């Protein structure tokens, strides 16, 4: 499984990369904002996208909307991992088609649970 991790802070990308590796996902790539992530997704055969919300250039919510609007990418599972905790934002992300929403700070257990849940649904549907 090929995963793209998008966050403008390299520390957070590293943490997520390590957690994913502990869960057995070793094929990961990184981008530091939506603008660089989108072409990578379009050309890269990724199976899963993990993204932050607040990023310069293109934000995570805009990246999500762009992914859902793209013919090739619209079914890509997307997990948001972000500090943004306003109800309106959570709802906006859900309505834009996010598959899971994790708020920072988070634990390894929560990350695993959300990823498992997303792939249960993907495999069932």
Partner 1 sequence: MLVSNSSGAGVDVLAELKERALALVDRLENSDYPGATEMIRRLNEARDRSIYHEVGKLTRGLHEAIVNFQIDTGRGIETEKMSQMANAQERLDYVINLTQKSADKTMDMVEQGIPVAAELGESARQLRADWQRLARREMSAEEFRSLYQQIDSFLGKTDAASGNLGATFSEILLAQDFQDLSGQVIKKVIMLVKEVEERLVDLMRMAGQVEELTGIFRAPEAVEKPAADVVPEGPQIKAGQRTDVVSGQDQVDDLLSSLGF
Among 11, 43, 45, 123, binds partner 1 (CB under 8 A): 11
End-to-end CA gap in the chain? 18
Q: Does 24 bind partner 1 (CB under 8 A)?
A: no
Least Cα distance to 1 among 41, 48, 39 occurs for 48
Q: Packing angle between helix 60-69 and helix 87-95, nearest 10 degrees?
A: 20
Q: Does 48 bind partner 1 (CB under 8 A)?
A: no
* Contacts of partner 1 in 51-90 (CB under 8 A): 53-54, 59, 83-90
Residues found near partner 1 in the complex (CB under 8 A):
10-11, 14-15, 18, 53-54, 59, 83-92, 94, 101-104, 106, 110
């Amino acid at each position: 499984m090929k995963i793209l991790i998008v966050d403008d802070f390299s520390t957070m990308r590293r943490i997520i990369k390590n957690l994913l590796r502990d869960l057995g996902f070793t094929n990961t790539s990184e981008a530091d904002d939506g603008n660089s992530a989108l072409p990578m997704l379009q050309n890269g055969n990724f199976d899963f996208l993990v993204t932050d919300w607040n990023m310069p250039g293109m934000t995570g919510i805009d990246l999500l909307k762009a992914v859902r609007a793209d013919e090739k990418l619209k079914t890509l599972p997307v997990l948001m991992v972000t500090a943004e905790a306003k109800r309106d934002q959570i709802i906006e992300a859900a309505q834009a088609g996010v598959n899971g929403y994790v708020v920072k700070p988070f634990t390894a257990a929560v990350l695993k649970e959300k990823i498992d849940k997303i792939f249960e649904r993907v495999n069932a549907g």
